[in-house]
Amino acid sequence: MGTFCIAVGSVRRPKVDAVKGATSSMAQFFGEGAVLQVEGYEVESGVSHTPSSREELMQGARQRADALREKLRMQGAGADFFVGVEGGLDIAMENGRKRVFLESWAYVSDGTRGHFGCSPSIELPEALAEEVLERGVELSTAIDQFAGAVGIRDGQGAWGVLSRNLISRQDSFRLAVTAAFAPFYNANMYRRSATAGG
């Protein structure tokens, strides 16, 4: 039995609650009676408000985790895991046509090694994608205008609007975090894979 401190590089409720949801489902794999405590902290991602490539999404998630680790170190504190989550867009060319997808990415580090995880993708309507990519409107502002509501980012998010609430922003982050944690809660499989590959 042990307590693990999980620090999240955000104080936004959907992100912190997503990490809480992910860790509650995986706590059993950290030992019988393991307790995973999640705490959010304000840090910068170092990327644009609406990342527009897979590389920028990954960079933002990693930089949040790294900035958080450094912030806690400067405060004389620490954590067992540092989690960075980032949402934004990935652009792909398919059959000569540009398609824009909303994705959530996570990066989890134990301070020594780190791993990425990604949510599923959902395609943006062309008008919404154009508003963000061509006119430079932040996705959270554009989705509020698109849906005729306010503060969507801290609730259902663009995911909820686009999927008619079948998938929420929190759901997408939870899946990304669960995937990023896999090498830690399923360490035997990842060690075996590394040995087999080497």
> What percentage of residues in the chain have a pLDDT greater than 70?
93
Mean pLDDT of 99-117: 97
The residues pairing with 118 across neighbouring beta strands, listed in sequence order, are 105
Domain ranges of the chain: 3-124+167-197
**pLDDT score of 154:** 66
**pLDDT score of 194:** 56
Fold of 3-124+167-197: Maf protein (3.90.950)
Mean pLDDT of 43-56: 94
**pLDDT score of 59:** 97
pLDDT at 76 over 90: yes
Going through the chain in order, the beta strands assigned E by DSSP cover 3-8, 35-40, 81-94, 97-109, 114-118, 122-123
Instruction: Output the pTM of the full model.
Output: 0.91
pLDDT tens sequence across 157-174: 889 889 999 999 999 999
Mean pLDDT of 106-132: 96
**pLDDT score of 153:** 66
**pLDDT score of 132:** 93
Pairwise CA distance, residues 61 & 121, whole Å: 16
